[in-house]
């Protein structure tokens, strides 16, 4: 069974989502291409309340949501629009989205425990480790604490011609009379089978299908149409909650019962 949680529309295309399981928050980056405006929101997916909604930073466009750790939100800022390799990093508090620190010469490569691992490029590539709370640089040779919060589950992608794609394609055709083409994303939980797949409807259309383990259809959503190409990570599961983006601007969630 499925239980509807919420659906929220945002002022622009949902470009990125980042989950903070320790605070029950999902962070959303939306981008209005016409206005060249990026906005950011933090939604508590358990209470359906926003910590902050449609907030913009001092840099309105050339900035991306990179991640969140230990109640610090990390953004990448592009310092030269003609050179995407010139990057900096901004650190904001998760609770109020207030600036904590910044570094104008840092490209992120990984989050490791309470640290950011990356490179400074001003005098050739130099590996750096920054404390996520303070921005203070450490030696890259220091032992880094590894913390895993592996409760976010993403689907596996199978492309046309792969054996498992053909197996799922046959299953959907026999069970639902649905002809899947090109590619699909598949995830099986303890209670459901979730498939993001494509159909030809005078162009490419992306559908999300949620079935019980017995193969009974419980949800069929058209995520977007027409689409120009195949998407990746079109949905994810966190705990017992399913999340997906519909029509590029709406974040939708259901509970998997």
Which tens digits make up the pLDDT trace of 211-236?
A: 999 999 999 999 999 999 999 999 99
141: its two tokens: 């040779």
Alpha helices in the chain (DSSP H): 163-176
Give the per-residue pLDDT at 140. 55
Is the same domain home to 25 and 133? Answer: yes
Is the same domain home to 121 and 96? Answer: yes
Instruction: With cut-offs at 50, 70 and 90, classify the pLDDT of residue 149.
Output: very low
The boundaries of the domain holding residue 14 are: 2-138
Is the same domain home to 132 and 177? Answer: no
243 in a domain, yes or no? no
147 in a domain, yes or no? no
Is the same domain home to 99 and 159? Answer: no
214 in a domain, yes or no? yes
Verify cis geometry, omega within 30 degrees of 0, for the bond prior to 146.
no
118 with 107: CB under 8 angstroms? yes
HSE at residue 147, side-chain half, CA atoms within 13 A, is: 13
By percentage, how much of the chain surpasses pLDDT 70?
A: 94
Is the same domain home to 101 and 164? Answer: no
pTM: 0.88
Q: Quote the number of domains for the chain.
A: 2
Is the same domain home to 175 and 111? Answer: no
Contacts of 230 (CB under 8 A, 6+ apart): 182, 183, 198
Is the same domain home to 29 and 130? Answer: yes
Name residue 73's beta-bridge partners: 68, 92
Instruction: With cut-offs at 50, 70 and 90, classify the pLDDT of residue 109.
Output: confident
148 in a domain, yes or no? no
Is the same domain home to 11 and 121? Answer: yes
Q: Are strands 49-55 and 37-44 parallel, antiparallel or unpaired?
A: antiparallel
245 in a domain, yes or no? no
3-state secondary structure (DSSP) of residue 169: helix
pLDDT at 241 over 80: yes
């Amino acid at each position: 069974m499925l239980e509807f949680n919420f659906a929220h529309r945002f002022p622009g295309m949902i470009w990125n989502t980042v989950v903070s399981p320790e605070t029950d928050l999902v962070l959303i980056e939306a981008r209005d291409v016409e206005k060249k405006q990026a906005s950011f929101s933090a939604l508590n997916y358990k209470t359906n309340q926003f910590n902050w909604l449609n907030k913009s930073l001092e840099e309105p466009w050339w900035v991306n949501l990179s991640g969140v750790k230990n109640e610090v939100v990390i953004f990448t800022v592009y310092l030269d629009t003609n050179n995407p390799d010139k990057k900096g990093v901004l650190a904001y508090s998760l609770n109020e989205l207030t600036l904590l620190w910044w570094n104008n010469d840092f490209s992120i490569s990984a989050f490791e425990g309470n640290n950011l691992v990356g490179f400074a490029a001003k005098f050739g590539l130099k590996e750096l480790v920054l404390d996520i709370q303070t921005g203070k640089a450490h030696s890259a040779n220091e032992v880094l604490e590894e913390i895993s919060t592996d409760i976010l589950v993403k689907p596996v992608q199978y492309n046309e011609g792969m054996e498992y794609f053909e197996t799922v394609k046959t299953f959907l055709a026999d069970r639902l009379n649905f002809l899947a083409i090109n590619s699909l994303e598949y995830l099986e939980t303890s209670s459901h089978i979730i498939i993001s797949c494509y159909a030809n409807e005078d162009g490419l259309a992306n559908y999300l299908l949620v079935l019980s383990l017995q193969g009974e259809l419980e949800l069929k959503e058209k995520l977007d149409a027409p689409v120009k190409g195949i998407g990746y990570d079109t949905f994810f599961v966190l705990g017992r909650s399913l999340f997906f983006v519909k029509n590029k601007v709406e974040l939708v969630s259901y509970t998997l019962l």
